[in-house]
Amino acid sequence: MNFIRSLRFKFMIGLTLIMLPLFLLLYYNNVYAIRVVRDKVSLTNMNHLAKSVEQNERVLQETNRYLYSLGERDPDIISLFFLKYGSGDYIIAKQRIMNKFMTDIGFYNLIDSFFLYDAVNDDLLLATSGSYDVKMSLVRESMPVQMTQLDDEIQQPEWSIVRGGAWNALVKTVRINQQFYAGALVDMNALNHPEQFTESGERGGAVIVDSNGDALSGSSLDPAQIKLAAAHLSGLENPYQVISEVTSKGDAGQYLMLGMPSAMSKMNYIVLLPEEDMLRNLPFFQQIIRLLPIGAAVILITALVFLRQLLFRPMNTLIRGMRRVSRGELDVRLEPPASSELEFVTRSFNQMTSEIQHLKIDVYEEQLRTREAEFKQLQMQINPHFYLNSLNIIHSLASLQKHELVQQMAGHLADYFRFSLRAGKRVIRLDEELEHIRHYLEIQKLRFPNKLNFSLDVDEGLGQYVLPPLTLQPFVENAIIHGFKRRTEPFVIRITAKETKTLSDGESERVGNGDCVTRLRLSVEDNGVGFEQEMLTRLQQGLYAEDPSGQHIGIWNVAHRLLVKYSDTARLEFQNPDAGGAAVILYLPAQTEAEEGGTYAEPVNRG
C-alpha cells in the first residue's frame, strides 16, 4: 500500500494544516484575559448585589417582627376585637391604627403599605404611600389565598408574591386572632437597585424574577434578555455564568449573569452585564474577537471542502450503496475512489454483494424446500387418539343392541376418517374444517349423552377462506379433556368464526390511522374450569413451545405450523373470560384457496 496515497497520511496532513493556525490563534488569544476580567467584574458586582439583598431581607425580617408584635403590643388593634363594629370608639381606634401605620411606613423605607383586615365584617384598613385604589384592590384579591394558607398551616415562604397587572408586590400576612389579619405590602420595584451595578452599560441591567423566570420588577432589560436569564436560573449557585444571546438581526452577544435567590420569598435577583462593555478597555483583544469569526469561518470552509473531497463523498457513496443492498438491490456496484484504503473497501463491497446475490438465491430455494417438507411433516403429527375410544363405544352400543346409535356413530366416524385422508393437503376450506369438528363433537356427544353440547357460529361467506388442516381440532379436543372435569351441569363448547379488520402491526383498528388488513378470527370457548393461573401465564407468554414433547404437543404443533406458514401474520391468544371457562382465539390471514396458492411467507430462520 502506497503510504502517500493512503487516507491516514492525507488526513494527518490535512488535520495539521487546519489545526495549526487555529492552535496558534487560540494560544495568543487564550481565555486568561477574559477570565480575569470576568472574575473581577463579577466579584465587584456580586458584592453590591449581596449587600443590596441583605439590606432588603433585613427590612423584610424587621417587618415580620413588627407584624407579629401587633397583636400583642398594639392596644388599638387589641381593642377592636372587643369594640362593636361601626361604633364611635371602633372608628376612633381604626383612625389611630391608620395614623400609626402611616408613621411606620416612613420608618420601614421599603414598605409600601400596611393593612388590617377584619375577616368577620370584610372590612379592610389600608395605609399606603402610593395609589390607594390599586393597592386596595390588590390586597382584597390576595386576602382569600393568604387566609387559606394561614388556616391550613401550609408551609409557605415568609413573603408571598402577588401580581397586580403591570405592578407586582410582596405581601406578608399574619393572623392577629380569629377575626383580624395584619399585613404589609412591598413594591417589587423598591427591591431592585440597578444603578449600583458597574459595567452594566446600555444593554445590561438588573431584574427580579420568580421561580419560573417571569419578571416581577421593572427593568431596563428587554423581554428577550429576561427570557435568556430565566433559562439559566438553575446555575445561580455558581459565582457567575456566561450566557449568549442571538438578536433578531442575527448578532450574537454574551452576558455575564449574576444571581442570588431570596431567602424570604420564591424570587431571584438577577444582574446581566454585557461583555462588550466589560472588554471595552482591551482594544487589541477586541480586534482579535472581531477577526476570530472570520478566520474560523475560512478555516471551517476550507476543512469542509478538503474533507468532503477526501472522505465525505466516498463515504456517502458507500453508505448509499449499503442502503440499496439493505433494500434488496444486490446488483449494486460502486466506482473505486482515489484513496487506497477506500478503494480496498469499495472493491471488497462489490465482491461481497456479488457473492451474497448468488448465495441468497441458493439459500432461499433450499429454505423453501425445507419449509415445505417441515410443513407436511408437522401436519402428520396430529394424533387421532380417540379412534380406539370410538370403536369401543360402537362395540358397547352394539352389545346393547342400540342399532340407531351404532349407525350414527359409524357415520360420523366414517366422515371423520374421510377427512383424515385429506389432512395431508396444504390447506382446506374453513367449512370443511368446521364440518370435521362437528363430526368429532357428535362422536363425543354419543360418548357423554346429555352432558355435552356445542354450537358453531360462523358469519356468512367465511367458509371459502382456507387454513391448515386440523388447526382448530386440537383446541376442541383439549377443551373436552381438560375442561370437562368435575361437571354437574352440561359442558358447552362454542366455536365462532368472524372477519375482522386490524392494522399491520396487529393492533385493533383505529379510524383513519394506518393501513388495515382483513383477518380471520376463530375462537374456541367453553364453560369449563378454565386455565389454571400458572398455566394461563405460560400460555400467554408462549412457553408451551419450549418442550414440544410434553403435554402441550397439540398447541405446539398448531403454533409451529402457523409460524412456518404465516410467519408473524398469525397470532394465538389464551384467556379466562369473566363469565368463566376458557377461550382460545386465533387470528389468521383471510385468504381464499386461489389467493393462498401463490402466497409464501419469507423463510423463517429458527436456527
**In the predicted structure, residue 138 carries a pLDDT above the cut 80:** yes
| C-alpha cell of residue 76 | 388599638
List, for residues 142-155, the tens digit of each pLDDT value: 888 888 887 776 66
pLDDT in tens, 310-324: 776 777 787 788 888
Looking at residue 220, the DSSP 8-state letter turns out to be: S
Nearest alpha carbon to residue 474 among 537, 406, 556:
556
Of the two residues 288 and 200, the one the predictor is more confident about is: 200
Contact 46, 258 (CB under 8 A): yes
Inter-residue contact 494 to 500 (CB < 8 Å): no
Burial class (CB in 10 A: 0-12, 13-18, 19+), 126: buried
CA distances 565 to 1, 378, 406, 470, 518, Å, are 52, 11, 39, 14, 17
Task: Count CB atoms within 10 A of the CB of residue 334.
Answer: 19
Cell of 154: 401550609
Q: Mean pLDDT of all residues in the chain?
A: 78
Cβ proximity of 196 and 214 under 8 Å:
no
**pLDDT tens for each residue of 73-90:** 888 888 888 888 888 888
pTM value is 0.45
User: Which pairs with CB-CB distance under 8 Å and at least 24 residues apart come from 500-507?
Assistant: 500/587, 502/587, 506/571, 506/587
pLDDT tens for each residue of 109-136: 889 899 999 988 889 999 998 788 888 8
Nearest to 148 by CA among 158, 156, 137, 136: 156
Question: What is the Cβ-side half-sphere exposure of residue 413, based on CA atoms within 13 angstroms?
Answer: 21
Angle at 215 between CA 158 and CA 269, to 5 degrees: 55
- Beta-carbon contacts of 447 under 8 Å, excluding residues fewer than 6 positions away, are 389, 393
pLDDT at 481: 79
Please tell me which residue, 569 or 386, carries the higher pLDDT value: 569
In whole angstroms, what separates CA 264 from the centre of its chain? 37
The candidate with the shortest Cα–Cα distance to 113, out of 172, 192, 68, 55, is 172
Percent of the chain with pLDDT over 70: 74
Strand partners, 187: 169
Flag whether pLDDT at 496 surpasses 90. Answer: yes
C-alpha grid cell, residue 442: 357428535
Residue 376 has pLDDT above 80, yes or no: no
Rounded average pLDDT over 425-454: 83
